[in-house]
Amino acid sequence: MTTKTLMVTGAGGYIGSNSVEVLLQSGYRVVAVDNFSQGFREPLEMLQNEHGEDKLVVYTSDLTESGAHEVMKQEPEIEGIMHFAALLNVGESMLVPEKYFTNNIIGTQRLLHAAIDQGISRFIFSSSCTVYGDIKNPPVDETAPLQRPASAYGHTKKMCEEILQWYDQLDKLKYISLRYFNVCGANDAGTLGDAKRETFGLMQNAVKGALGIRPFEFNYQEVDTPDGSPIRDYINVVDLAIGHVKAYEYLESNNTSDAFNLGTGHGTSVLEIVNTIKEVLGADFPTKPAASRRTGEIPQIFADAAHAKEVLGWVATRDIKKSIETMAVFYKNHPNGW
Ligand SMILES: NC(=O)c1ccc[n+]([C@@H]2O[C@H](COP(=O)([O-])OP(=O)(O)OC[C@H]3O[C@@H](n4cnc5c(N)ncnc54)[C@H](O)[C@@H]3O)[C@@H](O)[C@H]2O)c1
């Protein structure tokens, strides 16, 4: 087992905390950084209790300030960074884009500047399939050009990827961008889940609805797909976290920058998701097409995940049912988050 030290930003969040757990299970030591504006200390305290405070060190620090630099000076063993910290409420990003450009772009740039200054040259970036813009013919692979995303939030991901391309070209560091599709589920024990105060994922909100935590009525946009509802690619959060560890190992051995889709490679319609939730959790709620048709709803988005399989040896193994079950365990124990 390795005892390498990685910095994980946004470690108190949904994907960050799950990735910290997988890193600890894989033998890494983790320096966790979060400003806790959205995320929580409790999942990290839980992991410290399980794995030891020497294996997981937690810093409260804001990336838009000089926090990351200070942490790196105090933790000279850091060999690489997994950068999850960001704001990601798409709707809010269209109302207050300045908040998103400052937090996500300036925060990432300050982190990168500090890493380059400290000679940390391996960087894993949380990107999103939103960087592909309006996908016309799924599945989409990584050779598809980055296009203008539909939201200011999405644009922050595209801009960060472009900054990373410059640092790679100018030989400042090597990076891997991981483009996530629709993230769902909790860890296998159901103890680390999506505790955002306002969850926006379909599975998150439908599971909460099924458990009676909050009302849920499913209105979907009718589009041109076999069952008339949009098709998306639902990726389990633990599979996603394992993809990060594989990406880091690849970066370490090959010192080559790259981008990978992290998705299952299969589309599932949102109607299928909701019907499976009803079946697995024995619940019922109203399901109907939205009264008015929103323009611009993309009928189908799913990943071509072959590049991650061939190069990283990574495939998603947890199915939709598993994600629903683990998410339900988490929300039963944390109906109001942490
Ligand atoms: N959840 C998804 O479906 C999804 C899909 C695609 C991409 N992503 C990306 O994955 C990453 C993690 O998403 P998540 O769902 O875990 O979100 P989250 O909100 O649960 O976690 C993000 C964490 O970052 C922290 N943070 C935000 N700004 C910070 C700053 N300036 N300094 C320090 N900490 C800061 C928050 O407090 C929070 O703990 C994000 O970069 C997001 O854009 C998520």
Question: What is the pLDDT at residue 295?
Answer: 60
In this predicted structure, the answer to whether residue 2 has a pLDDT above a threshold of 80 is no
Q: Which two tokens stand for residue 126?
A: 């949380």
> What is the distance between the alpha carbons of residues 25 and 83, in angstroms, rounded to a whole number?
19
| Whether residue 265 has its Cβ less than 6 Å from ligand 1 | no
pTM > 0.95: yes
Query: Can you tell me the mean pLDDT for 149-161?
Result: 96
> What is the distance between the alpha carbons of residues 169 and 158, in angstroms, rounded to a whole number?
17
| Whether residue 87 has its Cβ less than 6 Å from ligand 1 | yes
Report which residue type is found at 48.
Q
Question: What is the pLDDT at residue 36?
Answer: 98
Nearest CA to ligand 1 atom 39: 39
Nearest ligand 1 atom to alpha carbon 130: 6
Q: Which residues contact 98 (CB under 8 A, 6 or more apart)?
A: none
In this predicted structure, the answer to whether residue 243 has a pLDDT above a threshold of 90 is yes
Catalytic residue among 132, 153, 175, 220: 153
Query: Can you tell me the mean pLDDT for 267-278?
Result: 96
Query: Can you tell me the mean pLDDT for 153-176?
Result: 98
Ligand 1 geometric centre to CA of 169 (Å): 27
40-54, 120-134, 241-255, 276-290: which range is least confident on average? 276-290
pLDDT of 204-239, one tens digit each? 999 999 999 999 988 888 999 999 999 999 999 999
Ligand 1 geometric centre to CA of 13 (Å): 6
Ligand 1 geometric centre to CA of 207 (Å): 21
Yes or no: say if 176 and 183 are a contact pair by the CB < 8 Å rule: no
What whole-number percentage of the chain has pLDDT above 90?
89
In this predicted structure, the answer to whether residue 329 has a pLDDT above a threshold of 70 is yes
**Is 153 marked active-site?**
yes
Question: What is the pLDDT at residue 154?
Answer: 96
| Whether residue 273 has its Cβ less than 6 Å from ligand 1 | no
Task: Go through the domains of the chain in sequence order and give each one's CATH number.
Answer: 5-185+234-263 (3.40.50.720)
For the chain, give the mean pLDDT.
Answer: 95
Nearest CA to ligand 1 atom 28: 86
Report, in angstroms and rounded to the nearest whole number, the Rg of the chain calculated over CA atoms: 19
| Whether residue 107 has its Cβ less than 6 Å from ligand 1 | yes
Ligand 1 geometric centre to CA of 61 (Å): 14
Split at pLDDT 50, 70, 90, the class of 293 is: low
Give CA separation, 218 vs 4, 112, 229, 274, in Å: 45, 41, 11, 8
In this predicted structure, the answer to whether residue 200 has a pLDDT above a threshold of 90 is no
In this predicted structure, the answer to whether residue 278 has a pLDDT above a threshold of 90 is yes
Split at pLDDT 50, 70, 90, the class of 180 is: very high
